[in-house]
Chains A and B, each alone.
Chain A
Amino acid sequence: MTTKMTPFIIAFGCYLALQFLQFFVIFPLEAKHGSNVTWLASVFFFPHLVRVLAAWMLGPLAFFALLPADIIIHLIIHPDRQLTDIQMLVPLVGSGCAIIAFELFKLAGMNFYTTATNISNWRPLLLIGAFASVINAIVSSLLYRGLILPNDSLLLLGNYIIGDVLGLFFGLLVLMVLIRLLRLNASR
């Protein structure tokens, strides 16, 4: 049972840790020099990396590892939000966007889950991540429609997509560097 849960616990832990890093370190830094919608979207949104990797490795069940972390961080940064607010659906979109993207690709005949193919390449992951980001951006913009100025909607949409894709790309780079360092240390 524990063995079965380990990947989900790791995904949950990484996602929550990166969400904290995002909202309490990167967002304040960006807010100093950034745009007026920084409270909603970042130029480097690193948790998107975990969304994509978790969906890639765990399949649709990854949703249950990501959703609790998304709800926790959402309630921490918006303590005044009511359960009936439509924005309470934002965590559902955030946790599910990568899975929806993988499933849509699967429906189109391109199954990129680790269980379906023997080849693992980072480029399809980036493509799916970008697609997931578009889904996330469109739905989240709709959910935040009443809270931001109409002129800012497009900016928010752009910020979401750029943030997610750059976060995913640089997150993969960081992961690559970390694994290289681990490998170098192991070979010494």
Chain B
Amino acid sequence: MASNFVTMGCQSMFKMKTMEETQSLQFARLLQMVRSMEADMGISALNKAEKVLFTCVGDLCLGTDSPVNLTQILAHQDVKKMPQATVYKCLRDLREKGLLDHVGGRGSGLYRLG
């Protein structure tokens, strides 16, 4: 008898948890849908690493129209601690978002603000 109550209690708690999870999932889907809209409109938010890299390129470009070398970017104080793979990924993402332009041929390592 007592075990039946425990089982029923566990079942109802599980149902409640599942319901809460479903609602969280629905909210996550809503956020995902909104993000897809932001992405299509080209206004998706930059992540922390992208912001750092973008401000770093802006910092290095300041006052000049000349492109920035990848070596300069990697040597920048804010980027130094960032793993190189993240830097490359962010540079690619920023280019895709139109915030940075790649200058010269493939592998030139030169960037300027988009």
Contacts and interface: CB of A to CB of B under 8 A. Distances in A.
- How many B residues touch the partner, as a band? 10 to 19
B37 A176 contact: yes
A2 to B, nearest CB: 10
B33 interface: yes
A60 interface: no
Interface in B1-35: 16, 19-20, 23, 25-26, 29-34
A78 interface: no
A4 B29 CA distance: 18
B23 A3 contact: yes
A175 B31 CA distance: 10
Residue of B23, B31, B40 ringed by the most chain A CB atoms within 10 A: B23
A179 B33 CA distance: 11
Given A57-B30, A114-B26, A120-B30, A3 B20 contact: yes
A114 B23 CA distance: 11
A84 interface: no
B81 to A, nearest CB: 21
A122 B32 CA distance: 9
A6 interface: yes
A138 B16 CA distance: 41
B45 A180 contact: yes
A98 to B, nearest CB: 15
23 contacts: A3-B16, A3-B20, A4-B19, A6-B23, A53-B30, A57-B30, A114-B26, A119-B32, A120-B29, A120-B30, A120-B32, A120-B33, A120-B36, A121-B33, A121-B36, A123-B36, A123-B40, A172-B34, A173-B37, A176-B41, A179-B31, A179-B34, A183-B45
Interface of A: 3-4, 6-7, 53, 57, 114, 119-123, 125, 172-173, 175-176, 179-180, 183
Given A57-B30, A176-B41, 11 more contacts: A6-B23, A53-B30, A120-B29, A120-B30, A120-B36, A123-B36, A125-B33, A176-B37, A176-B38, A179-B31, A180-B38
